[in-house]
A and B are shown apart, each in its own frame.
Chain A
Amino acid sequence: MSPQPQAAVGRPVSRVEGRLKVTGQAKYAADQTASGTAHAAVVDSSIARGRITGLDTAAAEACPGVLRVISHRNAPTLPYLPNRGSLNLPGERLHVFQDDRVLFHGQPVAVVVATTLEAAQHAASLVHVQYTAEPSATDLTSAPADEPTTYARGDAAAALASAAVRLDLTYRLSRMHHNPMEPHAIVTRWDGAELTVWDKTQWVQSTRDELAAVFGINPASVRVISPYVGGAFGNAARCWPHATIAALAAREAGRPVKLVLTRRQLYFGVGYRPAYEYRLSIGSDLQGRLTASVHDLRSETSRYETFAERGVLVPGRMLYTTPNVTQSHRTVPLDVNTPTPMRGPGYSTAAFPIESAVDELAHELGIDPIELRRRNEPENDQASGLPFSTRRLRECYTVGAREFGWNRRNPKPRTTRDGDWLIGMGVATAVYDTLRAPAQAHVRLDARGTAVVESATSDMGPGTYTSMSQVAADALGIDVPQVTFRLGDTTLPQAPVHGGSLTMASIGSTVQDGCDRVRQQAIALAVGDERSPLYGADPAAVVVYDGRLHVKGDPARGETYRQLLTRNDRTHLEATGSYTPAQSRASMHAYGAVFAEVAVDARLGMVRVRRMLGVYDAGRIISPKLADSQAIGGMVGGIGAALMEHTVTDHRDGRIVNANLAEYLVPVNADVPALKAIYLNGRDDQADPIGVKGLGEVVLVGVAPAVANAVFHATGRRVRHLPIAPEDLL
């Protein structure tokens, strides 16, 4: 723990970049205008599988303002060197414009570069492509699967056979798209062999390394800049094919090129959360103690890459005491583009079947669902045998039940009415593992007592700028406004992907380390300086507060950074902080208990979430206001997953039918009721030096099953697929 007073951390600081954003001054990727920038528009395939047999670009090329039309007919061969970074997957990434093959509906088949966006888009609509289509498969339920990934402990088949109670259930989850407000956008500029890229990305290094590999150039020749990201939810972690298209277009056209994907293109130009079939058998004794569970999962992937959601098998192994478990996860290769992690990846998928099944079991046995979970609370991580660093799930439920008024719930389904509405309450557990990764940050404190802290991380929305400024402010003993945090540039010290809820833990620890070093330099300077009031003091006893170093317990004895540095003719102090996660000797996860109350129109099937509460064991909360934004956003996302979100594919030709925000429904304000989050006070010191477990992912997990369980409680109808639509409840 830091010896420094924690004045900024724990305070509900408003976003330091908020003003820039709300006044339109924050420059996102598409706002960049390198001089002479041309615009690109992509032509997408209209079949799911086959070959391009004809490509007529004459009309497009004849349009005023069109500079180039690039397709496999005229594109140069690109090196596409192997790149095991950039979150590339087993298989081979899509190569753009390298041959006549079509691998999915919407695959880029040509790009038009023009002097204006309008000209590019219009010309793109005039490119006439002919195909010979081959039979395609896009339906998860009917296609053959890959070899499974498996896990087993004990003898689940035998335990299931002899279980007092057995449930054998199949759940289905729809494909979902991230749908951030900001579309994917990129501006690329070549200066000789040097490439500069302004990208929407959660990881500048990912774009840099991928473009370097695709074009066969040195990563050092690529600079990627991404100061602001308008939401991503995981979708901007990989570097998608359009980045290559933009860089190729810029090279061919001999000028900077801007490419902004259309909303429609975001449904096939970048990844999505895959659809699942999740068969789950559970066995228990009559007291509801789980004896066995068997998990059979099938999920979609593309034919050219294998995407298996990380973490989807974890909750089934460790969430509840279960002596006998078998799991098998098969990916099903289809004529679709490759999926990608989406908020709460894996865990939120698994939470729906597991938390629904636990609810079903509770109902079957007449045991309160919270009590049933308590009875299955494990002493340690049953998959790894490791102790939990911290696991306060019981407490989450205790606090949540009290705050939510759980005891007012009549356990019998379909018993509570309010006019035409049936009222129900449901709960579900949230869990997500605590990830950390090595990172670096540079800290420079100048003689005015202001600091610049830099790391090549990202801020896709959680408030990295703000939370890092808070950590830095306390570690340096200055105010938040005195700190400038910089991110999103490959010239800055390296950082891991901004995803998986690892940013606070990893970058936060790094920032703290760098600031500690600078503060200690200052203290060393002061205690060794005869002219300083701190001369001779024990360095360990010196703290800094409000820009002033002083002896702990003797505030009068001290001086400011400014006095110290000026007197010593130092313009600044600087240090590079770093963080390398310690080998974990514990099972580390963030937890939560999610409570939902819904009203379901008894005759019309409409579901309304009335209120929701999440109680989280997420370690230390650095920035409560940002945390609330995360929690509320997670709950809103979960309401969407439960009741609306569903990417619809027409399996005849692989077309995404609802590739726009009028048809792909997400919650609107009217769908979002009072949402509340409570964070258990505490910290996880085994996780990382600043005691945080990560919050952005866990807050989505468990929301959809809590809603689904509430719908069951309201109606007595168990819907085993998401989203739940009115017709499921008629």
Chain B
Amino acid sequence: MYPFTFTTARDTRAALEAGRNGGRYIAGGTTLVDLMRETVERPGTLVDISPLPLRFVTVTARGGVRIGALVTMTDAAAHPAIRRLYPVVSAALELSASAQLRNMATIGGNIMQRTRCTYFRDVTAACNKRDPGSGCAAIGGFNRTHAILGTSDACVATHPSDLAVALTALDAKVRLAGSSGTRSVAIADFLLLPGATPDREQALRPGELITAVDIPAHPRPLRSGYLKVRDRQSYEFALAAAAVALHSSGGVIRTAKVAAGGVGTVPWRLSAVERHLIGRRPSTRLWSSAAELAAEGAKPLTHNRFKIELLQRTVERELRIVGGTA
């Protein structure tokens, strides 16, 4: 670990001030500290933001939810309104990490977490994300867990967050505070494709702080859920995951929101699947024909070809679980 100084921000202004001066925010510390130990991250100053008043969950009359950036994964998952309105969010959180980690880890930190690509975490390996221009060890190396969607010649790492997949399906927005005020960015625009600059992962300006995540009110009530396929039953990232939210009326699907995890360099919105579902009647056949569109554009690597089929089947299964087979 490189030496660093540790400061605590008592309020948002102090945090932003420290952030502007190059300080690095630390919330639960569950992933930043690991990366510092591996010397992947070498911040000179850590700014502890845990005293900030960002531990709230508020619900709007129409069913929108605002989750403060410092709410723990445990608390967010267990919040009655989130459980009721957006079970997909609760499920994605509860299928993440372990109970101990979820008790410490925050919503803001979760969205900001960096890839689990093992070459990224091994400083002796070539990695464009960690060390721009050094190459990508994963493309010609062991890439079973890597992405099949959204990859570039520079980087094929997945975005590891489950929560972000659910938020992507629900069109959530990330609220940001900076020295020039606050702004709100759709999560789909917030998390960046690697392109030629995989080291740039979020549309975050220097010193900007995530203050909350907004799940917009959805005009029609949604049934939703999250399915995660992985190598063991807990405490493991997704090989493939599906976040599904549906609204049907009159026996016809009116709203379909579907996103995939474990397969994309960012949480992957499955618009083709959604389009296929809307206006159709739920049926086993519909689920499978829709799911066939899930891996459109996928580019498999040496060891992850199986993810194409696994993704389709995962989406199909979750459509059935959420949508039923009526």
Binding partners A and B: yes
* B116 interfacial contact with A, CB 8 Å: yes
Q: CB of A655 within 8 A of chain B?
A: yes
Which of A605, A643, A650 contacts B310, CB < 8 Å?
A605
A668 touches B231 (CB 8 A): no
A122 in complex: contacting residue of B1, B121, B124, B236, CB < 8 Å: B1
> Which segment, of A460-468, A550-558, A657-665, faces chain B?
A657-665
B60 lies within 8 A of chain A by Cβ: no
- Bound form: Cα–Cα A13–B252 in Å: 64
Task: State whether B232 touches A671 (Cβ < 8 A).
Answer: yes
> B317 touching A603 by the CB < 8 A rule?
yes
Contact between B232 and A665 (Cβ–Cβ < 8 Å)? yes
Does A669 contact B306, Cβ atoms closer than 8 Å? no
B219 sits at the interface (CB 8 A): no
Instruction: Tell me the chain B residues, 211-230 only, with Cβ under 8 Å from chain A.
Output: 229-230
A665 close to B118 (CB less than 8 A): no
Interface of A is mostly: loop
A46 contacts B309, C-beta separation under 8 Å: no
Q: Is the CB of A46 within 8 A of B317?
A: no
CB pair B1 A670 closer than 8 Å:
no
- Of B6-14, B68-76, B84-92, B134-142, the one with at least 4 CB within 8 A of chain A: B134-142
A110 to chain B, nearest CB (A): 14
Least CB distance, B40 to chain A, in whole angstroms: 11
Q: Which listed segment binds B: A292-300, A618-626, A722-730?
A: A722-730
Measured CA separation A239–B141 after assembly (Å): 33
Contact with B along A119-151 (1 / 0, CB 8 A): 001100100000000000000000000000000
Contact A669 B234 (CB under 8 A): yes
Contact B116 A606 (CB under 8 A): no
| Interfacial residues of chain A within 24-47, with CB under 8 A of chain B in the complex | 46
CB pair B313–A606 under 8 Å, yes or no, is no
Q: Which chain A positions have C-beta within 8 A of B232? A: 643-644, 665, 667-668, 670-671
A670: B residues at CB distance < 8 A: 232-235
CB-CB < 8 A to B309: which residues of A?
730
**Which one, B39, B142, B235, B317, contacts A604 given CB within 8 A?**
B317
Is B119 part of the contact surface with A, judged by Cβ < 8 Å?
yes
- Which residues in A have their C-beta under 8 angstroms from that of B306? 726-727, 730
Q: Quick one: given A46-B124, A727-B306, are A662 and B116 in contact (CB under 8 Å)?
A: yes
A178 close to chain B: CB less than 8 A:
no
Report if A652 contacts B (CB, 8 A): yes
A362 interface contact, C-beta 8 A: no
Instruction: Check A122–B317 contact: CB distance below 8 A.
Output: no
Are the CB atoms of A726 and B118 closer together than 8 Å?
no
Query: A118 at the A/B interface (Cβ < 8 Å)?
Result: yes
What is the total number of residues of chain B having a CB less than 8 Å from a CB of chain A?
33
In residues 635-687 of chain A, which contact B (Cβ within 8 Å)?
643-644, 648, 650, 652, 655, 657-660, 662-663, 665, 667-671
**Known pairs A604-B310, A606-B229; A122 contacts B116 (CB<8 A):** no
Question: How near does chain A come to B78, taking the closest CB pair, in angstroms?
Answer: 19
Residues of A within 8 A of B317 (CB): 420, 603-604
Let me know if A726 and B1 touch, CB within 8 A.
no
Does B122 sit within 8 A of A, measured CB to CB? yes
- Residues of A with C-beta under 8 A to B116: 662-663
Asked if B314 is at the interface of the complex by the 8 Å CB criterion, the answer is yes
Distance of A46 Cα from B306 Cα, bound (Å): 31
Given A652-B140, A655-B122, A657-B141, also A118-B236 (CB < 8 A):
no
Residues of B within 8 A of A122 (CB): 1-3
Contact B140 A657 (CB under 8 A): no
> CB distance A604 to B313 under 8 Å?
yes
Contact assessment for B1 and A604 in the assembled complex, using a CB-CB cutoff below 8 Å: no
C-alpha spacing A118/B4, complex, angstroms: 12
A648 contacts B314, C-beta separation under 8 Å: no
Question: Taking CB as reference atom, which chain B residue is nearest A666?
Answer: B232
**Complex contacts, B313 vs chain A, CB 8 Å:** 603-604, 730
A608 at the interface (CB under 8 A from B): yes
Q: Contacts A655-B125, A657-B118, A657-B119 known; A726 to B231 CB distance under 8 Å?
A: yes
Q: Which residues of B contact A657 (CB under 8 A)?
A: 118-119, 122, 141-142
Nearest chain A CB to B37 CB, angstrom units: 8
Q: Decide yes or no: A644 and B233 within 8 Å by CB, A122-B3, A657-B141 being known contacts.
A: no
CB distance from A177 to the nearest CB of B (A): 15
Checking B140, B236, B314 against A665 with a beta-carbon cut-off of 8 angstroms, the contacting residue is B236
Q: A121-B1, A605-B310, A730-B309 are in contact. Are A644 and B234 (CB under 8 A)?
A: no
With a CB–CB cut-off of 8 A, which chain B residues contact A665?
A: 231-232, 236
- Chain B residues contacting A727 (CB-CB under 8 Å) are 306, 310
Contacting residue for A671 out of B124, B140, B234, CB 8 A: B234
Q: How large is the interface on A (under 10, 10 to 19, 20 to 34, 35 or more residues)?
A: 20 to 34
Contact string, A412-434, partner B, CB cutoff 8 A, digits 1/0? 00000000100000000000000
Chain B residues near A606 (CB, 8 Å)?
229-230, 233
Contact A730 B310 (CB under 8 A): yes
CB nearest neighbor in A for B3: A122
Closest to A64 in B: B3
Shortest B183–chain A CB gap in Å is 34
Chain A hits for B1, CB < 8 A: 118, 121-122
B293-315 interface bits toward A, Cβ cutoff 8 Å, 1 = contact, 0 = none: 00000000000001001100110
On whether the beta carbons of A650 and B137 are closer than 8 Å, the reply is yes
Q: Using an 8 Å CB-CB cutoff, how does the interface string of B129-164 with A read, 1 for contact, 0 for none?
A: 000000001001110000000000000000000000
- A604-B317, A662-B116 are known contacts. Are A725 and B231 too (CB-CB below 8 A)? yes
Contacts of A46 in B (CB 8 A): 124
B65 within 8 Å of A (CB atoms): no
In the complex, A730 Cα to B304 Cα: how many Å?
13
Given the interface pairs A604-B314, A605-B310, the reply to whether A644 lies near B231 with Cβ below 8 Å is: yes
- Which residues of chain A are within 8 angstroms of B239 by Cβ–Cβ distance? 726
Residues of B contacting A125 in the complex (Cβ-Cβ under 8 angstroms): 2, 39, 123
- Bound together, the chains give a CA A671 to CA B306 distance in angstroms of 23
Residues on B with C-beta less than 8 A from A725 are 231
Minimum Cβ distance to chain B for residue A229 (Å)? 25
Q: How far is the CB of A730 from chain B (nearest CB, A)?
A: 5
Nearest residue (CB) in B for A121 is: B1
Bound-state Cα–Cα, A725 to B122, Å: 24
Known: A121-B1, A604-B310, A663-B118. A652 touches B229 (CB 8 A): no
CA distance A604 to B309 in the complex (A): 9
Measured between beta carbons, the chain A residues less than 8 angstroms from B2 are 122, 125
Given A655-B125, A657-B141, A604-B229 contact (CB < 8 Å) = yes
Choice from A118, A648, A671, A726 contacting B229 with Cβ under 8 Å:
A726
Q: Which B residues are CB-close (under 8 A) to A121?
A: 1
Q: How far is the CA of A644 from the CA of B121 in the complex (A)?
A: 21
With A and B bound together, what is the CA distance between A420 and B318 in angstroms? 12
CB-based contact A668/B3 at 8 Å: no
Q: How far is the CB of A646 from chain B (nearest CB, A)?
A: 10
Query: Residue-by-residue, is B94-118 near A (CB-CB < 8 Å gives 1, otherwise 0)?
Result: 0000100000000000000000101
Q: Which residues of A contact B121 (CB under 8 A)?
A: 660
Kindly state the separation between the CA atoms of A657 and B303 in the bound complex, as whole angstroms.
14
A608 CB to closest chain B CB (Å) equals 7
Is A650 in contact with B229, judged by CB distance below 8 angstroms? no
- Return the chain A residue nearest B314 by Cβ: A604
Would you mind naming 27 contact pairs between A and B with Cβ atoms under 8 Å apart?
A122-B2, A125-B39, A603-B317, A604-B313, A604-B317, A605-B229, A605-B310, A606-B229, A608-B233, A643-B231, A648-B142, A652-B140, A655-B122, A657-B122, A659-B122, A660-B118, A660-B121, A665-B236, A670-B233, A670-B235, A671-B234, A726-B229, A726-B231, A726-B239, A730-B306, A730-B309, A730-B313
Beyond contacts A122-B3, A420-B317, A657-B142: 16 other A-B pairs, Cβ-Cβ < 8 A, are: A46-B124, A125-B39, A125-B123, A603-B313, A605-B229, A606-B229, A643-B232, A644-B231, A655-B125, A658-B118, A662-B116, A668-B236, A670-B235, A671-B232, A671-B234, A726-B229
The 7 closest A-B pairs by CB, nearest first: A727-B306, A670-B233, A670-B234, A46-B124, A657-B142, A603-B313, A668-B235
